[in-house]
Chains A and B, each alone.
Chain A
Amino acid sequence: MEKKESFLVGKHYLMKQAFGQDELHEREAMCTRTDPPPCTAACPLGIDMRSVCDYVARGNYSKAAGIIRMSTPFLYTLSRNCGGECENRCTLARLGDSVRLRALERACAMYGGSGAVSRFMLPRKQKKTAVIGDGLFALACCWELGKKGYEVSWHTACESLMEPLLRLGIPEEEAKADLAALQNLRILRKEESSLSIEMLEKVSEEADAVCISPYPGLVCRKENCFSGRKEKGVAELLASAKRTALLADCFLQGAGTPPEEENRESRLFVTMDGVEGSESLLDPAYVTKEGAAAEAARCIQCQCLECIKGCVYLQHYKRNPRAAIREIYNNLSIVMGNHMANGLINACDECGQCKAACPNGFDYPDVCRIARHTMVETKKMPPSAHEFALLDQQFSNGEAFLARKQPGFEKCRYVFFPGCQASAVSPDTVEAAYRDLSTRLEGGVGLILGCCGAISEWAAREDLLADAEERFRSAWEEMGRPAVICACPTCRKIFDRYFEAETVGIWEILLNLGVVPSEGRTAAVHDACGARGDKKTQEEVRSLMRALGYQVAEAPFSGDLSPCCGFGGLVRYANPQMAREKADFAAGRADGMIVTYCMACKDQFARTGAGTRHILELVYGTGDGTVPDLSRRRKNRLELKQKLLREIWKEDMYMETMLPVHYAQGAMEEMEDRMILKSDVDAVLRAYEESGAAVFDQEHDWLVTSHRLGNVTFWVKFRKEETGYLIFGAYSHRMTVE
């Protein structure tokens, strides 16, 4: 990626482009969803047969005819003579009968051809054009040039506009309908007794540009003369006329030569889930309205949904990655005004499912990552989005941090790093795992409780990521640079990316050491986004499940296509509603129990009420389905540290006690939604005890006091009772008030 530097625009606005327009176009081009479907790509005229099918299936023949007429007015002529290349390339032909597109084209003419013809014309142009020829090509050129606003002299031996169509065997009524679009165009028929080189020379002197029919094959090398190509099919001939008229138009406008026709192979990847081959429902010799509609309904409306079908986020925002990256690019490019895509950027979990699903590997999460970095650098990242999570990382690597060698070892061969979520959600599992590893592994097993830095990586805070790395590094070096046993695939990914330490998944270690099997049950495995692309880990977890006596059921979207639980990308903090939707979808994939190998996934699933366990909880018989609230998650980490220090390293740890408080019904749930911790309430009450500043609300008979902690002012509604404080609720705001 081209490195862009930030700079000041005017006096105050820090500006930085995420990447240049060229890179935007390169990235966009990887997605094929805006490419035409195979039928349209195959059509020389590029007729949008997908939309035609859509309208016909709904019985709207005039709209369907209108789609064809957008490409050519000769609907009846084409429908009687079309080669039907679209039909040969129909996606359904791979599985059974293709959609009978030629017959549908005919049905459009029969049942929708009499509708009004759109006569959108460009303003009149002064330059004069001429067309030489007798056939359909010449007629089509007349229409192409006429609708562009030119006056057209048609030099022909034909006696009327209709003659070329009648010669093709088109009935008079149909020919009239096809010619309706040519009415009001400035087409002057100039009858010539024969088409000759002399006549051509003369016409090319009089007109500013001349289009020449390939039949009978007159050639003129003057720069204002354009000859059409000989074609066998009617559609090809109409396309040749279109191209010839375009060349003439570009010449007259001084616009240079337009590029040759594009490759007529479609790049569009077609999602075929649930599509089965079927037989055609229409007899081309007997086209009825109802029959055509039924046949059109067989069209699967070719489109690529690979990235969207398993991603709640893309479905929620009704976006596809191609459109979204342009929105993000624009969002980052504006200097003043509302950044409307901030929410879009911060609601992506950066899990990589869409990239894995994309046939071309379109890397949408990478764009979100770049965007977040740019936002942080230009100070445009909404401060409220990730602050809670970053403070949580600070807590994990501060108060709750623990690094110890196994007692009796100067250096350790391993260090166990369970990850911050494991200690928060299931501390007894961490304890059991460490006791097990330090007993059964040789060479000493150290323990580090902390955060790997994934939180700051998701928040695009390189400074805090470096802090986390430094915190880990000094402890790791002190232990003699041991191999890191990770119990979280995301931690492992972070270490592998930023750190030279050798890492190993705990599943691999436990498979080697052996586990005690329990009675056989069936459970589905949810693959963590940290293990995407890591088949070894995915397989090891399944092997461990089997070793534990479980039968592994594969849920939809497993392996590399696994959806995010809602925690990834800090969505749980930046957009809790989105995180819930993701968790519901991911947990809903399995009927029975769903086993995770990331504690954040387990926690997210437990919130949905799904039967879920982390695989280490199955190994050690620990944990349960309860969901610790935000305060409990912190307390769990501190208590685990205290317990391990006391029992394993025989050290005391001082833990601050909080003021005695009770919570009224519903108060704690409300605090959880508002991401307010019990420790915040404690700090506010301590400040109150010092200052005595509060408001007495006589209506509710409670006091309300406030205190600013960091960037947030917290308010607590309370009553002082004999046994302590009774808390009725708490709220906060980030604004300062004076």
Chain B
Amino acid sequence: MAEKNYYSVDPMGKLMCAQCKKTLVKGKAMFSYMGNAFPVELPVCPECGFVYVPEDLAMGKVLTVERSLEDK
């Protein structure tokens, strides 16, 4: 499956992992729902791998995709 960007990672580096004190970087992550998986790029902690799902993404594109998958 072609990789799609649903979210552009904050370029200003204003997100930091609270545990590792490292700035989050663009990293690969995988969204899965109802047997479907989507590779995405999300802000990830380079140290511990914590994946951050920003609010506008969760309540926007993610919600829309969830709804469409539920109706498949």
Residues of chain A with a CB closer than 8 A to B30's CB: 737-738
**Chain B: minimal CB distance from A681 (Å):** 14
> A512 at the A/B interface (Cβ < 8 Å)?
no
Residues of chain A with a CB closer than 8 A to B29's CB: 737-738
Q: What's the interface size class on A, roughly? A: 35 or more
Contact of A694 among B18, B53, B72 (CB under 8 A): B18
CB atoms of B32 and A384 under 8 A apart: no
Which chain A residues numbered 331 to 356 have a C-beta less than 8 Å away from chain B? 336-340, 342-343
A736-B31 contact in complex given A383-B70, A692-B19, A699-B14, C-beta closer than 8 Å: yes
> A498 at the A/B interface (Cβ < 8 Å)?
no
Q: Which residue of A lies closest to B24 (CB)?
A: A695
Contact of B66 among A342, A384, A729 (CB under 8 A): A384
> A734 at the A/B interface (Cβ < 8 Å)?
yes
Assembled-state Cα–Cα distance A343/B68 (Å): 11
Residues of chain B with a CB closer than 8 A to A263's CB: none
> A723 at the A/B interface (Cβ < 8 Å)?
no
Scan A451-486; emit 1 where CB is below 8 A from any B CB, else 0. Answer: 000000000000000000000000000000000000
Count of A-B residue pairs with CB < 8 Å: 91
Contact of A693 among B48, B55, B68, B70 (CB under 8 A): B48
Scan A683-722; emit 1 where CB is below 8 A from any B CB, else 0. Answer: 0000000001111111100011110000001010100000
A338-B72 contact in complex given A384-B66, A704-B52, A737-B51, C-beta closer than 8 Å: yes
Assembled-state Cα–Cα distance A692/B52 (Å): 14
A733-B62 contact in complex given A338-B72, A339-B72, A693-B50, C-beta closer than 8 Å: yes
**Chain B: minimal CB distance from A726 (Å):** 16
**Chain A: minimal CB distance from B46 (Å):** 13
> A285 at the A/B interface (Cβ < 8 Å)?
no
**Chain A: minimal CB distance from B31 (Å):** 5
> A382 at the A/B interface (Cβ < 8 Å)?
yes
> B17 at the A/B interface (Cβ < 8 Å)?
yes
**Chain B: minimal CB distance from A682 (Å):** 19
A693-B32 contact in complex given A384-B70, A733-B53, A737-B42, C-beta closer than 8 Å: no
Assembled-state Cα–Cα distance A735/B17 (Å): 22
Assembled-state Cα–Cα distance A278/B19 (Å): 82
> A731 at the A/B interface (Cβ < 8 Å)?
yes
**Chain B: minimal CB distance from A121 (Å):** 44
Contact of A733 among B14, B34, B66, B71 (CB under 8 A): B66
CB atoms of A735 and B52 under 8 A apart: no
CB atoms of B31 and A696 under 8 A apart: no
> B1 at the A/B interface (Cβ < 8 Å)?
no
CB atoms of A734 and B19 under 8 A apart: no
Assembled-state Cα–Cα distance A737/B18 (Å): 19
Residue in B32, B42, B70 with the greatest tally of chain A CB atoms within 10 Å: B70
> A631 at the A/B interface (Cβ < 8 Å)?
no
> A732 at the A/B interface (Cβ < 8 Å)?
yes
Assembled-state Cα–Cα distance A87/B50 (Å): 78
Assembled-state Cα–Cα distance A717/B56 (Å): 13
CB atoms of B53 and A706 under 8 A apart: yes
Residues of chain A with a CB closer than 8 A to B18's CB: 692-696, 703, 705
Q: Which residue of B lies closest to A342 (CB)?
A: B71
**Chain B: minimal CB distance from A438 (Å):** 46
**Chain A: minimal CB distance from B54 (Å):** 8
Assembled-state Cα–Cα distance A339/B66 (Å): 14
A733-B58 contact in complex given A338-B68, A342-B71, A695-B16, C-beta closer than 8 Å: yes
Residues of chain A with a CB closer than 8 A to B17's CB: 694-696
CB atoms of A695 and B14 under 8 A apart: no
**Chain A: minimal CB distance from B38 (Å):** 8
Known: A383-B70, A692-B18, A695-B52. 10 other contacts (CB 8 A): A338-B72, A382-B67, A694-B19, A695-B18, A695-B45, A715-B53, A731-B58, A732-B58, A737-B32, A738-B29
Sampled A-B contacts (27; CB under 8 Å): A336-B72, A337-B72, A342-B70, A343-B71, A382-B70, A384-B67, A674-B59, A693-B19, A693-B48, A694-B18, A695-B17, A695-B43, A695-B50, A696-B16, A697-B15, A698-B15, A699-B12, A699-B14, A713-B53, A715-B55, A731-B58, A732-B58, A735-B32, A735-B65, A736-B31, A736-B32, A737-B51
